[in-house]
Structure 1
Amino acid sequence: MTKKVSFGAKPSAQPANPDQWVKDRAVQEKEPTKRLTIDIPESLHRAIKSQCAARGAKIADEVRELLLQKYGNQ
């Protein structure tokens, strides 16, 4: 038995050139950004995710705001 899978066209929301999209996004920022990866308990992640989803917010924006409140623009 052979399984056939067909793929449609690329979604139009996806940038044609991801590298250019990242560069363009960096230009929009006031300063260069750095990625931060942290490990948190699954229960905490679930709570953050559900509350953000209920408000239509992104987790990254929420965490960024909390970090700014704690550390500000020193």
Structure 2
Amino acid sequence: MSTQPVGPEPVNVVCPSCHQQVVTRTEPKATTKTHLIALIMCLTCLWPCACCLYCTQCARNTEHFCPSCNAFVGTYER
């Protein structure tokens, strides 16, 4: 659940934990959907494309964290 509106890029927010104005630190995260798409691609002989899912952000969510206190700020779901 997102506590602040966030997107795929770092955003300027007030941290809900330390209450500082910060630009979020982002981390891409593979989801169950990412793994299922990769499995289907592997089963249909598209395994090189399946590997690309983990190298790009197109099929991964973006999690945002406060760079000061490392508190979770929100998730951008793809």
Query: With structure 2 as the length reference, what TM-score do the two structures score?
Result: 0.24
Q: Decide which structure has the larger Cα Rg and report it.
A: 1
Bigger relative contact order, structure 1 or 2, given CA contacts below 8 A and separation 6+? Answer: 2
Greater strand proportion: 2
Greater helix proportion: 1
Query: With structure 1 as the length reference, what TM-score do the two structures score?
Result: 0.25
